[in-house]
Amino acid sequence: MPITEFLEKNASLYKDDVSLVEINPELHSKTLVTWKEFSLIEPSSRNGIRSEITWGDFDKKANRFANFLLSRGIKKGDRVAVLLMNCLEWLPIYFGILKTGALAVPLNFRYASDEIDYCLKLSNSSSLIFGPEFIGRIEEIYNKIPNIKPLLYVGKDCPSFAESYDKLVTYCSSKKPDIHLDDNDDGAIYFSSGTTGFPKAILHTHGNLVHSCITEQAHHHQTKDDIFLCIPPLYHTGAKMHWFGNLYTGGKAVLLKGTEPHWTLKAVSDEKCTIVWLLVPWAQDILDAIERGDIELSEYNISQWRLMHIGAQPVPQSLIKRWLKYFPNHEYDTNYGLSESTGPGCVHLGIENIHKVGSIGKAGYGWQTKIVDEKRNAVKRGDVGELAVKGPAVMKCYYNDEKATNEVLSDGWLYTGDMAMEDEDGFIYLVDRKKDVIITGGENIYPVQIEDFLRKHEAVKDCAVIGMPDKRLGEITAAIIQLKDGFLLSEEDVNLFCLDLPRYKRPRVIIFSDVPRNPTGKIEKPKLRKAYCGEDIVAKQVRN
């Protein structure tokens, strides 16, 4: 079955129930407001700060957009790109594309104009729909993409080089298009994070997307009554595929446009959210705000919040232990996945395995896992190797890149590039990215292990460990440390703290700076290497 059938089922069974809520704590002046200020604004004067649609409206909007695209010559197998910030229109547009039989091609909102141009051409996109935040970037490449038609704009004051989505789509037929779709039809192209260069195009079928829905519900047991708070960007598989659990059951979702801790807790409180997926920095910010006294949990109605799950990067054990201190009644789950595995779920901890915090868990629903050496032979339990996964949601291929596909896909197995180990109980622990392993004096060092250790220090908000070139050892470890507000720390303090680490793992260079992360929460280590590895660092080295 195609994934669009879940939407159509919900529209039939729950026509008048709310499907999506958008909360935007930002006034038209672009001045951010606190939740206290927001609550004092009369509902009639909130200027769209909160809005919602029902399942029936969701399906009608998707059908109208599908019929518009069909009227403009978009056909089954074409590709339609989406470049929008999270908004109520995002998901109806996505499903409207799928209903035509075309492929949805979500684009990262941080892409520069040249990256947008690259991805449009790599995916052979026929059309693009974009929002006001991207007018300048699209204008820069407009003359390079003359075949991208229609070029649609969502918002007020449509630029002259585009057509207005609202004016053109509003009066189209809301009847379901007569397009046959099944599991094997191509459904979407997602892009890899691009941390090592321009991104790869990842092709997924409707069957991949459907299995992601089933996996999410199997892991987190969503019911019709669950309300999912979605904060991460919808262009990414992580946010959307976690929302798929509510799509599967017909539950409501809340799109929060902002990550400030007060907004998150207020949204949970006001909308009665039961499930929240967080990235590590956002969870860290909530905990820091509580410990600073900026947030008093008794001011929020959060007793219905049953599940906090987290993923997209290695999760420090110390973070979860802190979280459970303040939220002791929460179910907790870690979710592991890649865009190539249709997002999270190929490995998950399981809410029943809280005693294994620190592990990413075991093979997810319908999945298999193995850990292999460089020749792709299974390693002994307890040894470090590359994690491979196999299941119904493994990508079809890297679109238009047979060589890259063959490098990671073999006999149905997806080789993730993540180094991992399995304990005596069969639980998998991430060690690091294969490309991030530091080799110093012949020893393999896995930065994640050092990062987890450093984050245990009360003054450390975030940290990243990278390898720096060294003539004698090949590489040495460097720690970039971001401090919590109001805390001070010296290199000597860090060195003393690290005495509990084996000597060869102790950072040789200490740098106090911000740790950059991409929209999915992953540390952008290429940026750090570019910033620090090209410098003369001899004077900065701290020989332990």
pLDDT in tens, 100-158: 999 999 998 888 898 899 999 999 999 999 999 999 999 999 999 989 999 999 999 99
Q: Which pLDDT tens digit goes with each residue over 268-317?
A: 999 999 999 988 778 888 999 999 999 999 999 999 999 998 876 667 77
What is the reported pLDDT for 537?
38
CA distance 221 to 227: 12
Centroid of chain to Cα 23: 19
Percent share of the chain, pLDDT over 70: 90
The pLDDT, as a whole number, for residue 82 is 98
pTM of the complete model: 0.82
Contact 278, 318 (CB under 8 A): no
In this structure, are residues 27 and 33 in contact, taking their beta carbons and an 8 Å threshold? yes
Show the tokens assigned to 488. 């001070």
Which of 488, 429, 478, 423 shows the shortest CA–CA distance to 450?
478
Q: Which of 182, 170, 191, 161 is nearest to 61 (CA)?
A: 170
Question: What pLDDT score does 33 carry?
Answer: 57
- Give the mean pLDDT of 197-222: 93
Q: What does the alpha-carbon distance between residue 336 and residue 448 come to, in Å, rounded to a whole number?
A: 15
Res 196 pLDDT > 90: no
Angle made by CA atoms 222, 228, 229, in degrees to the nearest 5:
160
Token couple for 444: 């393999």
Residue 394, pLDDT score: 97
pLDDT for the residue numbered 538: 33
Contact 235, 131 (CB under 8 A): no
Q: Are 193 and 520 in contact (CB under 8 A)?
A: yes
Is the pLDDT assigned to residue 399 strictly greater than 50?
A: yes
Question: Exposed, middle or buried by CB within 10 Å (0-12, 13-18, 19+), for 141?
Answer: middle
The 10s digit of each residue's pLDDT in 460-492 is 999 999 988 876 677 889 999 999 988 999 999
Q: Residue 281: what pLDDT?
A: 78
User: CA 203, CA 398: separation in Å to the nearest integer?
Assistant: 6
* Cis peptide leading into residue 526 (ω within 30°): no
pLDDT at 205 over 60: yes
Mean pLDDT estimate for the chain = 89
Residues 83, 128 contacting (CB under 8 angstroms): yes
Number of residues that this document lists for the chain: 544
Supply 381's token pair. Answer: 């339990």
Chain mean position to CA 408: 21
Of the pLDDT bands very low, low, confident and very high (cuts 50, 70, 90), residue 532 is: confident
Q: Which of 478, 371, 475, 481 is nearest to 430 (CA)?
A: 371
Q: Which of 92, 91, 234 is nearest to 174 (CA)?
A: 92
C-beta separation of 465 from 507 below 8 A: yes
Residues 251 and 382 sit within 8 Å (Cβ to Cβ): no
What are the tens digits of pLDDT across the range 353-385?
888 888 899 999 999 999 999 899 999 999 989
pLDDT at 542 over 80: no
The vertex-118 CA angle with 113 and 119, nearest 5°, equals 100
CB-based contacts of 437, cutoff 8 Å, min separation 6? 419, 444, 445, 446, 447
Confidence of residue 28 (pLDDT cuts 50, 70, 90): very low
Structure tokens at 435: 């490309």
Residue 55's CB is within 10 A of a number of other CB atoms, namely: 24
More confident residue, 208 or 351: 208
Alpha helices, DSSP H only, in 231-368?
A: 237-249, 261-271, 280-292, 317-326
Report the DSSP beta bridge partners of residue 481. Answer: 463, 512
Nearest to 128 by CA among 157, 162, 92: 162
Other CB atoms closer than 10 Å to residue 115's CB: what's the count? Answer: 18
- Burial, 127: exposed, middle or buried (Cβ in 10 Å; 0-12, 13-18, 19+)? buried
CB 22 within 8 A of CB 51: yes
- Domains within the chain, CATH numbers bracketed: 4-326 (3.40.50.12780), 437-540 (3.30.300.30)
| Among 12, 11, 98, 364, residue whose Cα is nearest residue 217 | 364
Determine contact, residues 382/423, Cβ cutoff 8 Å.
yes
Q: Are 349 and 364 in contact (CB under 8 A)?
A: no
For residue 321, the 8-state DSSP code is H
- The position carrying tokens 């969503």 is 222
Nearest partner of 81 among 120, 114, 112, 139, judged by Cα: 120
- C-alpha 8/C-alpha 253 separation (Å) is 17
| pLDDT band at residue 442 using 50, 70 and 90 as cut-offs | low
Pairing assessment for the beta strands 438-440 and 428-433 based on DSSP bridges: unpaired
Which residue is associated with the tokens 């010296």?
A: 490
CB 130 within 8 A of CB 154: yes
Q: How far apart are CA 371 and CA 418, in angstroms?
A: 10
Give the whole-angstrom CA distance, residue 444 versus residue 463: 20
User: Does residue 516 register a pLDDT over 70?
Assistant: yes
